[in-house]
Structure 1
Amino acid sequence: MADRLHAREVIALVADDASFVELPHPERDSAPDGPLGWRGYDGSRLRASERTGEEESVVCGTALVGGTRAVLIAFEFGFLGGSLGERTGDRLEAAYAHARAYRLPVVPLVATGGSRMQEGMLALTQLQRVARQSVLTREAGLAQIAVVRDPTTGGGWATLGAGADVVLALPGAQVGFAGSRVRPADADPAAYTAEAQVAAGAADALVPPEELRAALSRWLRLLTATSKAPAPVPAALGAAGLPATGWDAVRRARAAERPRAASYLDAYFTDRVAICGDRVGGTDPDGMLCGFGTHEGRTVAYAAQTGTATRPAGYRTAARLIRLADRLGIPVLTLVDTPGAANDAAAERQAAGGAIADLFTAVAAARTPVTTLVIGEGGSGGALALAAPGNTWAAPDSYFSVIAPELAAAILKRPAAEVEPTADQLRIRPQDLVELGVVRGIASA
């Protein structure tokens, strides 16, 4: 179990020194023992206040985090388990409204067991208020970065936590919709952890407490730096010169020594942070790298294929990245490098077609500029889904094809000896793609 930090302790952990300013608390008249007249509720609240020094389960205010001002929402688990009641909802609504009024990102520091039973359905409906405030803040183009602490369960996880744009988790924290007292007796406790949520793509990263301020500082800096200018085309890192034949282009793109996505990202960005997962239970860390980085002093989002067959979770993660960058006004760089979409039975069961369609839609709908460089293999629709219409470029050691030459020959019932001539017929070399108008140009070193 992770150490349980009090609300003001976690604020002190992430905020720059002496920068936290608490927001005014909305006033609400309360009937004796709350809206349900729950016997002993007033006494429970009084004892919780005496133990914690707080009047409610959340502390809301503004602070500098690594020099970037943000609205912080810190839960106090010691106050009735960090539960949400009507007065909690009032504070949360006011905090989000302040963020929109002053154009500030929101950082929920969550530790909650869920809705407050002593207020019944009135407590549960606070989740709808929170969801509405989150939507309004998202529509305003403001980032939401959640830190999930121990424990984060119930509606707090399902709204402030999992509903954020980026989710950071403290190692060892209990994180899941079902709290320890309501889940099945035979349930595997390891499934309800921060580590499990990262593995399932529901959270982006594990961050130890001592690294939390630095991590939040990087994320806030990157996600608040908007730009209308397209991402510059990366310099080509591989073999110079153009291939003589279509098969030469294929050989060069498939060469083991050719630079892959990680090399391009390292050369392009001075620093970068990654998002993880598609938020519906999947990750593709070996097939798609996504995140935000700094290039020549400004933020650029990236989605990069790694040279393997891309899995459905990879496409969904890339679509999530592009939609987030679009909302925040951040340009996007995509790197195409895949022999094609994964086509095994597992990929079909994971809705490969729908995942690819979702990425096509995200790219087509993006208002922020998208720049694409084909750095290796461009295999069919599984590669095209990541490519920017009208702003795609090719590295000299790449190719882009409607289908792999071997498969094209097989479909046309040609013998293996005809694979190389088929590659020429497909016109897949970088210079062919420029002539055809498929790509804008060839990247230089």
Structure 2
Amino acid sequence: MAERMSARQAIAFLTGATARGGPPGPAAFTELPMPKDTLPPDGPLAWQGYDESRARAAMRTGEDESVICGTGRVGGTEAVLISFEFGYLGGSLGERTGDRLEAAYTHARERRLPVVSLIATGGSRMQEGMLALLQLQRVAGQSALTRAAGLPQIAVVRDPTTGGGWATLGAGADVILALPGAQIGFAGSRVRPPDADPYAYTAESQLTGGHIDAVVRPEDLRDTVRRWLALLTGGTAGAGSGPVRAAEPPAALGHAAPPATGWDAVSLARDPRRPRAEAYLDAYFTTRESVNGDRAGGTDPGTLCGFGERDGRTVAYAAQCGTATLPAGYRTAARLVRLADRLGLPVLTLIDTPGAANDAQAERSGAGAAIADLFAAVATARVPVTSLLIGEGGSGGALALAAPGNTWATPDSYFSVIAPELATAILKRPPDQTRATADQLKVRPQDLVSLGVIRGIVPPAGA
């Protein structure tokens, strides 16, 4: 998708169909009937020359407004498509734009369709003043209603996407994809401080900050959106056909025999050769897509979150990778669980951390609040959550990802209220008592079963 591609070209690119006057069929785009133009001469502010500006924009683009809305298929999924025409007054939002967006969201809810927005906008339309700015509340309200209806929203951020369009349709979407180099930010290029770092307003910077999920090359965009739509709408089995069935725990990939002692359990879990989250996710899912970041400026490479296909249906996942989990990791996992809950999709969590990050930066980043929020997300989820302990289970930083009553363990894992070394130090025991302390803590998988902490120990694949 080239920079400044027209709204209709963007739709045609995504659907693989001719946008206007193309052949009928399942891939064709069908434009929705739009509300009539009720603007008075020169708009609500009687802005001199506004009608002439609109006429020139219409002549240049062939459109009569800055947004086109309709339905079309991306792969095998029908969706409501919203595409902005930047050539029409900078893709700005006015009252008529709000009318069209409201009609599109309403149609999505009536037809139970996901929404895909192809955004390229400079923000609210100055010639309509505060009445244009109020459209942001209107759009946000429609998005919230659609979210409450359990329908997914995907944003494809083109260049540029700034102002209220970014702060509503863009940043408010469930999954946010951006084209390379796209200018993204609440502040447009002409209103930023003169000393502002231009990199901060790029797709790549927004990805690093955890504000978008992926930067996608134009040649990969259609297939990426196709996969996301299939996953978020439940896959071929469908998510809304009845009670949501819990995801089964993955098979063990590592050591097959339960450990003899508590310290053996700790040693097996800390073995650098033990299979980690990536190996479990690759073995469990046919295909998967990742969500990135906590939407608050943070990412945690040691926490993997996303959605994958398993036996023809979608399962959401949040997986720790064996490192100390950052506050951003807990917030990203909480975002993932809540999104899966809205969409009616089961959740799988993989637990593997020595504990929550506890340095000064983690405290400044709100470690306690982030962990508390994940505990709350798991506790209040209406969809079933399945958890598998695949390595270290270090205290509350690990327990936050554990499903009450549906947590399992692999033979090469352990769960402990505190690391044996730290327990030894707190009890003022000599270091050579660490092994005995590990036994006393009852950290082995079989101990956890006996205590009722976990449901069972998963066997290796094929066992």
TM-score range, shorter chain: over 0.9
CA contact (8 A) 1:16 1:63 kept: no
Secondary structure at the aligned position of 1:375 is classed as strand
CA contact (8 A) 1:16 1:67 kept: no
Partner of residue 338, structure 2: 323
Partner of residue 51, structure 1: 60
> 1:122 aligned to 2:131?
yes
Q: Measure how far apart 1:211 and its partner are.
A: 1.1
Moved over 3 A (4+): none
> 1:359 aligned to 2:374?
yes
Q: Measure how far apart 1:16 and its partner are.
A: 3.8
Secondary structure at the aligned position of 1:266 is classed as helix
Partner of residue 111, structure 1: 120
Q: For structure 2, which runs of at least 5 residues remain unmatched after alignment?
A: 18-26
Partner of residue 394, structure 1: 409
Partner of residue 188, structure 1: 197
Distance in 2 (alpha carbons) for counterparts of 1:186 and 1:15: 41
Secondary structure at the aligned position of 2:289 is classed as strand
Partner of residue 11, structure 1: 11
Partner of residue 225, structure 2: 216
Distance in 2 (alpha carbons) for counterparts of 1:29 and 1:302: 47
Distance in 2 (alpha carbons) for counterparts of 1:257 and 1:103: 47
Match of 2:89 among 80, 83, 95: 80
Match of 1:255 among 271, 276, 280: 271
- After superposition, the CA RMSD in angstroms is 0.9
Distance in 1 (alpha carbons) for counterparts of 2:346 and 2:41: 54
Partner of residue 174, structure 2: 165
Pairing of 1:14-413 with structure 2 (within 5 A): 14-17=14-17, 18-225=27-234, 226-227=238-239, 228-285=244-301, 287-413=302-428
Secondary structure at the aligned position of 1:212 is classed as helix
Q: Measure how far apart 1:433 and its partner are.
A: 0.2
Q: Measure how far apart 1:7 and its partner are.
A: 0.2
Q: Percent identity?
A: 74
Secondary structure at the aligned position of 1:383 is classed as helix
Distance in 2 (alpha carbons) for counterparts of 1:250 and 1:347: 25
Distance in 2 (alpha carbons) for counterparts of 1:410 and 1:252: 22
Secondary structure at the aligned position of 1:152 is classed as strand
Distance in 2 (alpha carbons) for counterparts of 1:344 and 1:19: 54
Q: Measure how far apart 1:51 and its partner are.
A: 0.2
Q: Measure how far apart 1:73 and its partner are.
A: 0.3
Q: For structure 1, which runs of at least 5 residues remain unmatched after alignment?
A: none
CA contact (8 A) 2:42 2:51 kept: yes
Q: Please tell me the residue identity of whatever aligns with 2:8.
A: R
CA offsets 1:182-219 (integer angstroms, 9 cap, x no match): 00001010000011111100000001111111000000
CA contact (8 A) 1:93 1:129 kept: yes
Distance in 2 (alpha carbons) for counterparts of 1:168 and 1:2: 15
Q: Measure how far apart 1:29 and its partner are.
A: 1.5
Q: Please tell me the residue identity of whatever aligns with 2:391.
A: G
Q: Please tell me the residue identity of whatever aligns with 2:7.
A: A
Distance in 2 (alpha carbons) for counterparts of 1:340 and 1:408: 14
CA contact (8 A) 1:301 1:332 kept: yes
Distance in 1 (alpha carbons) for counterparts of 2:65 and 2:3: 21
> 1:430 aligned to 2:439?
no
Distance in 2 (alpha carbons) for counterparts of 1:326 and 1:19: 32
Q: Measure how far apart 1:2 and its partner are.
A: 6.7
CA contact (8 A) 2:176 2:212 kept: yes
Secondary structure at the aligned position of 1:4 is classed as coil
CA offsets 1:375-426 (integer angstroms, 9 cap, x no match): 0000000000000000000000000000000001111111101110000000
CA contact (8 A) 1:2 1:171 kept: no
Distance in 2 (alpha carbons) for counterparts of 1:29 and 1:143: 31
Q: Please tell me the residue identity of whatever aligns with 2:64.
A: E
CA contact (8 A) 2:2 2:218 kept: no
CA offsets 1:17-68 (integer angstroms, 9 cap, x no match): 3510000011132111000000000000000000000000000000000110
Distance in 2 (alpha carbons) for counterparts of 1:333 and 1:30: 51
CA contact (8 A) 1:2 1:150 kept: no
Q: Please tell me the residue identity of whatever aligns with 2:125.
A: R
Distance in 2 (alpha carbons) for counterparts of 1:165 and 1:37: 38
Q: Measure how far apart 1:3 and its partner are.
A: 1.5
Q: Please tell me the residue identity of whatever aligns with 1:14.
A: L
TM-score, length of structure 2 as denominator length: 0.95
Q: Please tell me the residue identity of whatever aligns with 1:250.
A: V
